[in-house]
Amino acid sequence: MAAHVQVVLLQDYEQLGYTGEVVRVRPGFARNFLVPRGIAKVATRANIKQIEHEKELARRKAEKLRAESEKLAAELAKLVVMVPKQAGEDGKLFGSVTAADIAEGLAHKGVEIDRKALQMPDQPIKVVGSYEIPVKLAHGVTATLKVEVKTAA
């Protein structure tokens, strides 16, 4: 019986490696643990080729998503979102501007962004004025959105 067999990891496994890697393990570990749980497959040429093909598809998809995120970031950099809020004579708002308010303003301009992507400042926006809000998009792409808080008529 062989001392070790080669398997292709189908998912990251902390003690062995990352998805798509070919690793050497004991036959019993592969047969009784890794393969039945779907963590690995026996490393045949066909399995290795299939995993490489899937990695290539995932890489292309990630590139496409990154390109779309960069395009959206460029579009957001050009936009100015107006948020009308009730305010007193001194410019202090009755309440504050939330990420949901800004996301709603973006939706009126035809841009759909999850409110959780907006990186709101630590202190809530409670004064009329101009603000720059970072927007965290996919794959580490970040954009800056200009927000104008105005007094509602």
59 and 77 part of one domain: no
77 and 58 part of one domain: no
C-alpha distances (whole Å) from 32 to each of 8, 28, 39, 48 are 15, 6, 11, 21
Domain boundary residue among 48, 66, 84?
Answer: 66
pLDDT in tens, 98-153: 999 999 999 998 888 888 999 998 888 999 999 999 999 888 889 999 999 998 86
Residue 28 phi/psi, 5° resolution? -65, -40
Residue 150 phi/psi, 5° resolution? -115, 160
Note the pTM of the prediction, 2 decimals.
Answer: 0.66
82 and 60 part of one domain: no
What is the predicted pLDDT for the residue at 25? 94
Q: Which domain holds residue 109?
A: 68-151
What's the domain count of the chain?
2
